[in-house]
Amino acid sequence: MRCVIARYPFELTRTGVLASMKGVRPELITTESVTVGRRRYPVMQVGQVLTRQDRRDFTAGEVLRAMTRLGFTCHERPGSAGPGQADAPGGVSALTAASRLLGGAGPMAA
Q: Tell me if 27 is assigned to some domain.
A: yes
With a threshold of 0.75, does the pTM exceed it? no
Q: Tell me if 67 is assigned to some domain.
A: yes
Helix (H, G, I), strand (E, B) or coil at 35: strand
What's the whole-number mean pLDDT along residues 99-104? Answer: 55
Q: How confident is the model at residue 79 (pLDDT cuts 50, 70, 90)?
A: confident
pLDDT tens for residues 42-69? 999 999 999 999 999 999 999 999 999 9
CB atoms within 10 A of CB 29: 16
Q: What pLDDT was estimated at residue 70? A: 95
Whether the pLDDT of residue 29 is over 60: the answer is yes
Please count the structural domains in the chain.
1
Q: What pLDDT was estimated at residue 13? A: 95
Q: Tell me if 33 is assigned to some domain.
A: yes
Instruction: Supply the range of the domain harboring residue 70.
Output: 2-75
Residue 90 to residues 24, 34, 61, 85, 107, Cα–Cα distance (Å): 39, 29, 32, 11, 18
Q: What pLDDT was estimated at residue 78? A: 84
Q: Tell me if 63 is assigned to some domain.
A: yes
Q: Tell me if 36 is assigned to some domain.
A: yes
Residue 49 to residues 24, 26, 68, 90, Cα–Cα distance (Å): 9, 11, 17, 41
Q: Tell me if 107 is assigned to some domain.
A: no
Q: Tell me if 82 is assigned to some domain.
A: no
Q: Tell me if 62 is assigned to some domain.
A: yes
Please check whether residue 37 is in contact with residue 21, taking contact to mean a CB–CB distance below 8 angstroms: yes
